[in-house]
């Protein structure tokens, strides 16, 4: 049994793959990952940028699409939808076998819509209509404009992966949007699913930079601790939010908890263990979406043990970090802005690269 299979069977945590490319679908590599224990897939504009620009896998179809009169952007979406459908096919047996717990593939709306509630709702509805698979998650960023969009789409009965969560306060808003969306939805709720993607390593990168600038012994001793502490605090919020009378009434209608998903779990600091953000955030009813290089490292030498609510964790770590002069809400706002900007840049760069490929392929 691989460590990924053990992670789910013994700790009830679902390991997902944070990457997707056409060659993996065609070659059988993605199926091998699933056999090894991967239970879902996440994608984003940066992932597709790398897949489409680093290989020639998409050139033939791109040429056909452009020749048929499609624009570069229309062609991009057709290429993406084909990849998503291929991954959905491979994961559908797991979706059925797990009764809709896992087997999902996530596709993000156009990142330029992150601050436009009506357009986000329209784009997400279109993607759900276009693909129309029960194991599709449409990803919506947890921006101020994204929160009401999430509520509306959940009330529509759509399954949503809420992405780019960087603060505990915003996470509570995401949970409220999910719960109120369910309450606005009529009838059986069992076909609605959602995860809340809490970004991990990027938090340490920014917080540690600020602690380094502060430079005191206390500040330096807190480096590498903020992200895991925040993830564990989020888990406590999850456990308290999905219990009690309000949740019980929704659960009776078939509602599923909105599982926390740990995202951005590759280690950015080479001084940290390469499986740090997997090993230290293991707990039931959670998901960890992991880049393939980190998945390989975890399979090789990761530790399968419940750590999400470890007694060794100091609950006052976040307070200590703030007392040293790091404003965690300010950090979260900056990371959200950077995250949205990064995805927009990847999306625009990809369209430009595809345009250049089209010009080259025509010659």
Share of the chain above pLDDT 70, in %: 98
Do 64 and 72 meet the contact criterion of CB atoms below 8 Å apart? Answer: no
Task: List the CATH number of the domain containing 189.
Answer: 3.20.20.70
Domain count, the chain: 1
What separation in angstroms does the CA of 289 have from each of 122, 156, 212, 346? 26, 26, 29, 20
Torsion of CA 14, 139, 42, 261, to 10 degrees: -30
**pLDDT surpassing 90 at residue 363:** no
Q: Are strands 160-165 and 136-141 parallel, antiparallel or unpaired?
A: parallel
Buried b (16+ CB within 10 A) or exposed e, 294-308: bbebbbeebebeebb
Residue spans of alpha helices (H) in 110-160: 117-131, 146-155
Please give the pLDDT value at position 126: 97
Side-chain-side CA neighbours of residue 213 (13 Å)? 9
Catalytic residues: 139
Dihedral (CA of 38, 106, 26, 274) sign: negative
Please give the pLDDT value at position 358: 82
Torsion of CA 284, 229, 147, 183, to 10 degrees: 40
pLDDT in tens, 176-233: 999 999 999 999 999 999 999 999 999 999 999 999 999 999 999 999 999 999 999 9
Average pLDDT, stretch 346-355?
89
* Angle at the Cα of 276 from the Cα atoms of 274 and 279, rounded to 5 degrees: 120
Do 111 and 142 meet the contact criterion of CB atoms below 8 Å apart? Answer: no
pLDDT in tens, 162-178: 999 999 999 999 999 99
Please give the pLDDT value at position 53: 85
Please give the pLDDT value at position 6: 97
Please give the pLDDT value at position 100: 98
Q: Give 86's contacts (C-beta < 8 A, 6+ positions apart).
A: 22, 25
The pTM score is 0.95
Confidence band of 124 (pLDDT split at 50, 70, 90): very high
Identify the residue whose tokens are 């345009």.
Answer: 355
C-alpha 48/C-alpha 60 separation (Å) is: 16
- Among candidate residues 230, 223, 200, 224, the one with its CA nearest the CA of residue 324: 223
Q: Could you give phi then psi for residue 206, rounded to 5 degrees? A: -75, -45
pLDDT in tens, 290-342: 999 999 999 999 999 999 987 555 768 999 999 999 999 999 999 999 999 99
C-alpha 153/C-alpha 128 separation (Å) is: 10
Please give the pLDDT value at position 315: 66
pLDDT in tens, 92-115: 999 999 999 999 999 999 999 999
Do 52 and 354 meet the contact criterion of CB atoms below 8 Å apart? Answer: yes
Please give the pLDDT value at position 311: 58
Structure tokens at 300: 């090789």
Identify the residue whose tokens are 């206390």.
Answer: 218
H/E segment holding residue 105: strand 104-108
pLDDT in tens, 19-51: 999 999 999 999 999 999 999 999 998 999 889
Specify the DSSP class assigned to residue 113.
Answer: G
Buried b (16+ CB within 10 A) or exposed e, 261-292: bbbbbbbeeeeeebbbbbbbbbbebbbbbbbb
Average pLDDT over the chain, rounded to an integer: 95
Range of the domain at 214: 3-362
Confidence band of 54 (pLDDT split at 50, 70, 90): confident
């Amino acid at each position: 049994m691989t460590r990924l299979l053990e992670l789910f069977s013994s700790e009830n945590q679902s390991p997902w793959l944070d990457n997707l490319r056409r060659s993996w679908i065609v070659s059988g590599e993605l199926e091998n990952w699933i056999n090894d224990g991967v239970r879902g897939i996440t994608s984003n504009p940066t992932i597709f940028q790398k897949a489409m620009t680093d290989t020639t896998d998409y050139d033939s179809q791109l040429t056909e699409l452009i020749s048929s009169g499609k624009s570069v952007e229309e062609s991009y979406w057709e290429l993406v939808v084909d990849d998503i459908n291929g991954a959905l096919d491979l994961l559908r047996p797991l979706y059925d076998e797990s009764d809709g717990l896992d087997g999902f593939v996530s596709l993000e709306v156009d990142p330029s819509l992150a601050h436009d509630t009506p357009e986000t709702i329209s784009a997400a509805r279109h993607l759900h209509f276009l693909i129309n698979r029960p194991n599709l998650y449409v990803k919506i960023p947890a921006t101020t404009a994204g929160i009401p969009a999430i509520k509306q789409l959940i009330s529509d009965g759509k399954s949503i992966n809420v992405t780019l969560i960087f603060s505990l306060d915003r996470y509570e808003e995401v949970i409220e949007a999910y719960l109120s969306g369910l309450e606005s939805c009529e009838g059986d709720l069992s076909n609605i699913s959602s995860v809340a993607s809490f970004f991990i390593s990027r938090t340490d990168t920014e917080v540690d930079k600020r602690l380094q600038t502060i430079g005191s012994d206390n500040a330096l001793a807190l480096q590498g601790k903020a992200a895991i502490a925040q993830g564990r605090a989020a888990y406590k919020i999850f456990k308290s939010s999905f219990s009690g009378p309000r949740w019980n009434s929704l659960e009776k209608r078939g509602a599923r908890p909105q599982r926390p998903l740990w995202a951005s779990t590759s280690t950015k600091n080479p001084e940290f263990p390469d499986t740090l953000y997997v090993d230290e955030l293991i707990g039931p009813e959670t998901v960890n979406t992991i880049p393939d290089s980190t998945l390989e490292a975890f399979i090789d030498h990761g530790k399968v043990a419940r750590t999400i609510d470890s007694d060794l964790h100091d609950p006052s770590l976040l307070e200590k970090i703030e007392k040293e002069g790091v404003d965690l809400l300010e950090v979260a706002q900056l990371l959200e802005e950077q995250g949205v900007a990064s995805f927009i840049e990847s999306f625009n760069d990809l369209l430009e690269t595809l345009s250049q490929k089209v010009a080259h392929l025509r010659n």
